[in-house]
Amino acid sequence: MKSHYRVVVIGGGIVGSSVLYHLAKFGWTDVALIERAELTCGSTWHAAGGFHALNDDPNIAALQGYTIRLYDEIQRESGVSVGMHMTGGISLAASKQRMEMLKAERSMYETMEIETRLVTPEEIRELCPIVDVAGLQGGLYDAHEGYMDPHGTTHAYVGAAKQRGAEVVLRNRVVELRQLPDSRWSVVTEKGTVTADHVVNAAGLWARKVGNMAGVNLPVTPMQHHYLITEDVPELVALDREIVSITDLEGFTYLQPERKGVLLGIYERDPRHWKVEGADWDFGMDLLPPDIDRILPELSIGFERFPALQNVGIRRWVNGAFTFTPDGNPLVGPVPGKKNYWVACGCMGGFSQGGAIGLTLAQWMINGDPGADIFGMDVARYGAFAAEDSYLKDTTRQFYARRFVISYPNEELPAGRPLKVSPCYDTLKAEGAVYGCTWGMETPQFFAPGQTNFVEQPTVRRSNAHDFVAAEVRATREAAGMFESAVYARYQVSGPGASQWLDRLLAARLPRVGRVRLAPMLSPNGKLMGDLTVSRLGEDRFWLIGSYYLQAWHMRWFDDHLPRTGVTMRNLSDAWMGFAMSGPASREIVSRLTDRDMSNSAFPFLACAEIPVAGTDALVARLSLTGELGYEINVPVSHQRSLYDALKTAGKDLGLRSIGNRALDSLRLEKSYGVWNSEFTQSCTPGMSNLAHHVAFHKGGFIGRDAALREREAGASRMLVTLLIDATEADASGFEPVKSSGKLVGCVTSGAYGHYVKQSLALAYVDRDVATVAPELTVDVIGETRAARILAEPAYDPKGLRLRS
Ligand SMILES: Cc1cc2nc3c(=O)[nH]c(=O)nc-3n(C[C@H](O)[C@H](O)[C@H](O)COP(=O)(O)OP(=O)(O)OC[C@H]3O[C@@H](n4cnc5c(N)ncnc54)[C@H](O)[C@@H]3O)c2cc1C
């Protein structure tokens, strides 16, 4: 062990080994992996080693594909066999709803260029003769599934890394981490202390404890997981080939070949945590006692689905632990607020995702950018609330128990809720609000007036909330709609250096005092880092408004770029709230609550000011996401409830109605407005996303300018368009393929029924030539091909007159 390394990776499981390999591969060879005991001695050694490329998040699916393709390379480089068995795999559908879901998924995978196919019960039996196909509707086949040797794969990564100069130190626990004044880390180990420019927490079952060493509480916890391995199965002994792997979604089990027997794994509906705080330091390569009574219900379904297992002995029971996060995705990247402290943990699918995590982290450390939109696994997608034990336990338990359960796009799951609520929560509930949740904050989805216990049926089609949403949209277009803006993030930037700093951070020209502007924020490679609204309240005082759930992610970016002096940044997201009021009656409503002249000439579109509203100092900005005349009214949280009462009273005779996120989606799609995480993501550019006209190419240097200029010259390869879809019962919801003459030309980013224009609408990225020629297109909505065409202009008020009225 040397006294200093550029990077110390803590943990020699599949994930830490992949991080080490990728760092060395990309040229950082002064790196060491420090392992408490032996390689694989956490979760990795007893993993079933199954892998698959399929994932609901296309970016993660692409990265899983990368992981699988990488195995040949590390095997070749290291000379160590990874024991790959590419058997192919089938997800079974034992209900009509599941089959419909698999059909929709097949279309979605098409947009990710992952080839899957639907198979009949007969084909399933052909590919896996031990499946009892009774009651099966069919399945989804993916050729890129299989299983591998966990030990060999880990050693292949490490072997290849060592050949490139990386070092591995075994039987040496990291006992303490201390940050030095120059941001490097002092890594105290059992065998001495080393310094490192960066540390990576890849400590798997111990990740939470290694987080604590740096003062970080990570939302990750171990949970128990069972599988069994059978003796030889005569039907398989008689077979001259391997069966495919099977996931019985309705049965909560998965099965893969294991020599001439099988491995049957269980995702039980009554799961158990184990060592929520992280495993004990002296935990060895041990198994937990099997808890067969608890898993019996799922096991029984498994033995019915695979009857051959009833006639063979069980060679081995495995009850091991591996880690879960609230949404089941890993935690990757630099931890907000901790310089040079990186995580690569919380990974429940090391053999599908390990390569991707290593690739992402190494690129991020070396190039300052993860190389793809990996928000779905970015550690900054969570805030501190997610690591609280009760929230963490509730949400991870929910994820585990629902691992194979159908998730519907309109479904709001209950775990960990309500956690954060606005002062109006009970009042809006009494008004009929049906809540969803964003980053722990309750937010109304729609209102069922007069009904406090309305239950929306989970569905991929238009739901029983359709008419409520229609009424909210109509009220907003014809009178006024009021949206509780608790799910906005608000930041105040002030100080003598504020304007200079923001001018460099944001790609737009800064607004004049008293004005608001939409400002794209770019990374150095010209990709979007935000779509913020900037209000200028004074020469040196600004407000930025963004998405509530991006707070930790944005704050990390702001902190990384903040100068040492001259600029103060305050995150006001939990201190201020308010309402977004829009619709033709909104001026009259707001005017009734303030002495300020709110006429169009005195307070025009994109004006902002601090003015008294209903007896409190509010920050009011004139803009809306609905396309109507509108005002965003922000007040301190303590005044949000009284503001609500005042607005409600003022709007009573003017048709004011509370509205939720669903109505907002319908309204914005009628106006072709994009939002973050659908149309605007880290993989999009201003040129693609119709944001280029907000970019001030001619102002001085701003982050991402060179790349944005290059794109402007070359033109974007894909364009954001609005589609009118010939759909009747269901609307697009995102990731559906867009085709021209059967050829894939794009992908839907979001869709909804435009209640006011009475059309099924979607926003989609399509190839540039398609966007210009605008041919007849199709979109697969829940797997059914529907005719679609590109709208030349927004479906509602294309000239934007109402917004400016
Ligand atoms: C029963 C079971 C079946 C599974 N089946 C599959 C499957 O089929 N497919 C799949 O993809 N995944 C499967 N998994 C999950 C898989 O095991 C994990 O995704 C993977 O092992 C996570 O690897 P890791 O490197 O993050 O963590 P770990 O394997 O836990 O490695 C962490 C390492 O860090 C070391 N460490 C911790 N603290 C310190 C310290 N302070 N100093 C030095 N070293 C330290 C530990 O000793 C350990 O070696 C399964 C898991 C279980 C339990």
pLDDT grade for 61, boundaries at 50, 70 and 90: confident
Cα torsion 703, 707, 710, 716 to 10°: value is: -110
Q: Which run of H or E residues covers position 4?
A: strand 4-10
pLDDT the model gives residue 326? 98
Pocket test for ligand 1, best of 43, 199, 400 (most atoms within 8 A of CB): 43
Which long-range contacts (C-beta less than 8 Å, at least 24 apart) are formed by 673-679?
Answer: 673/625, 673/627, 674/531, 674/720, 674/749, 674/763, 675/531, 675/625, 675/750, 676/530, 676/531, 676/546, 676/547, 676/550, 677/375, 677/547, 678/734, 678/749, 678/750, 678/763, 679/720, 679/749, 679/750, 679/763
Q: Give distance in angstroms: CA of 549 to centre of ligand 1.
A: 29
pLDDT the model gives residue 783? 87
Q: Kindly provide the residue ranges of all beta strands, DSSP E only, lying in 202-281, ordered along the sequence.
A: 221-230, 245-248, 253-258, 261-266
Q: Does ligand 1 come within 6 angstroms of the Cβ of 488?
A: no
| Mean residue pLDDT across the chain | 96
pLDDT the model gives residue 670? 98
Q: Give distance in angstroms: CA of 39 to centre of ligand 1.
A: 10
Atom of ligand 1 nearest to the CA of 256: 8
CB of 148 closer than 8 Å to CB of 44: no
Q: Give distance in angstroms: CA of 657 to centre of ligand 1.
A: 52
Q: Does ligand 1 come within 6 angstroms of the Cβ of 347?
A: yes
Write the DSSP assignment of 120-188 as a string of letters: -HHHHHHH-TT---TT--EEEEESS-EE--HHHHHHHHHHHHHHTT-EEE-S--EEEEEE-TTS-EEEE
pLDDT, tens digit, for every residue of 6-27?
Answer: 999 999 999 999 999 999 999 9
Q: Give distance in angstroms: CA of 173 to centre of ligand 1.
A: 16
pLDDT grade for 112, boundaries at 50, 70 and 90: confident
Q: Does ligand 1 come within 6 angstroms of the Cβ of 44?
A: yes
Give the span between the Cα atoms of 703 and 712, in whole angstroms.
15
Give the span between the Cα atoms of 730 and 733, in whole angstroms.
9
Reduced to 3 states, what is the DSSP secondary structure of residue 610?
Answer: strand
Q: Please give the single-letter amino acid code of residue 140.
A: L
Q: Give distance in angstroms: CA of 202 to centre of ligand 1.
A: 9
Q: Give distance in angstroms: CA of 15 to centre of ligand 1.
A: 8
Reference 475, options 673, 660, 722, 606; nearest CA is 660
End-to-end CA distance of the chain: 70
pLDDT the model gives residue 471? 98
pLDDT the model gives residue 402? 96
Give the span between the Cα atoms of 436 and 420, in whole angstroms.
12
Q: How distant, in Å, are the alpha carbons of 665, 725, 776, 803 from that of 758?
A: 14, 11, 20, 20
Q: Does ligand 1 come within 6 angstroms of the Cβ of 41?
A: yes
Strands 185-189 and 192-201: antiparallel
Q: Does ligand 1 come within 6 angstroms of the Cβ of 37?
A: yes
CB of 438 closer than 8 Å to CB of 549: yes
Q: Does ligand 1 come within 6 angstroms of the Cβ of 15?
A: yes
Strands 541-547 and 568-571: unpaired
Q: Does ligand 1 come within 6 angstroms of the Cβ of 49?
A: yes
Nearest CA to ligand 1 atom 48: 42
pLDDT, tens digit, for every residue of 515-526?
Answer: 999 999 999 999
- Give CA angle at 127 (124, 131), nearest 5°: 55
Question: Which distant-in-sequence residues (6+ apart) come within 8 Å of 713 by Cβ?
Answer: none
- Whether 467 shows a pLDDT value over 80: the answer reads yes
Pocket test for ligand 1, best of 9, 22, 41, 44 (most atoms within 8 A of CB): 44
CB of 522 closer than 8 Å to CB of 529: yes
Give the span between the Cα atoms of 526 and 687, in whole angstroms.
10
pLDDT, tens digit, for every residue of 152-172?
Answer: 999 999 999 999 999 999 999
CB of 363 closer than 8 Å to CB of 370: yes
Please give the share of the chain, as a percent, with pLDDT higher than 70. 100
Q: Give distance in angstroms: CA of 204 to centre of ligand 1.
A: 5
The edge-to-edge listing of strands for the beta sheet with 221-230 is 116-119, 138-142, 89-93, 245-248, 253-258, 261-266, 221-230, 314-324
Mean pLDDT of 696-719: 95
pLDDT the model gives residue 55? 83
Answer whether 0.85 is exceeded by the pTM.
Answer: yes
Q: Give distance in angstroms: CA of 14 to centre of ligand 1.
A: 7
Q: Give distance in angstroms: CA of 315 to centre of ligand 1.
A: 23
pLDDT the model gives residue 111? 86
Atom of ligand 1 nearest to the CA of 205: 30
pLDDT the model gives residue 59? 84
Q: Give distance in angstroms: CA of 158 to centre of ligand 1.
A: 15
Q: How many CB atoms lie within 10 A of CB 346?
A: 29
- Whether 228 shows a pLDDT value over 80: the answer reads yes
Between residues 450 and 777, which one has the greater pLDDT? 777
Q: Does ligand 1 come within 6 angstroms of the Cβ of 358?
A: no
Reference 346, options 337, 338, 109, 335; nearest CA is 335
Nearest CA to ligand 1 atom 13: 47
pLDDT, tens digit, for every residue of 679-697?
Answer: 999 999 999 999 999 999 9
Give the span between the Cα atoms of 617 and 667, in whole angstroms.
29
In a 13 Å sphere around the CA of 640, the CA atoms on its Cβ side amount to 24
Q: Give distance in angstroms: CA of 42 to centre of ligand 1.
A: 5
Q: Does ligand 1 come within 6 angstroms of the Cβ of 35?
A: yes
pLDDT the model gives residue 44? 98
Give the span between the Cα atoms of 725 and 727, in whole angstroms.
5
Q: Give distance in angstroms: CA of 78 to centre of ligand 1.
A: 21
Strand partners, 198: 7
pLDDT, tens digit, for every residue of 497-537?
Answer: 999 999 999 999 999 999 999 999 999 999 999 999 999 99
Give the span between the Cα atoms of 460 and 464, in whole angstroms.
12
Q: Please give the single-letter amino acid code of residue 659.
A: I
pLDDT the model gives residue 396? 98
pLDDT, tens digit, for every residue of 313-353?
Answer: 999 999 999 999 999 999 999 999 999 999 999 999 999 99
Q: Does ligand 1 come within 6 angstroms of the Cβ of 68?
A: no
Question: Which distant-in-sequence residues (6+ apart) come within 8 Å of 651 by Cβ?
Answer: 480, 482, 585, 589
Q: Does ligand 1 come within 6 angstroms of the Cβ of 250?
A: no
pLDDT the model gives residue 240? 94
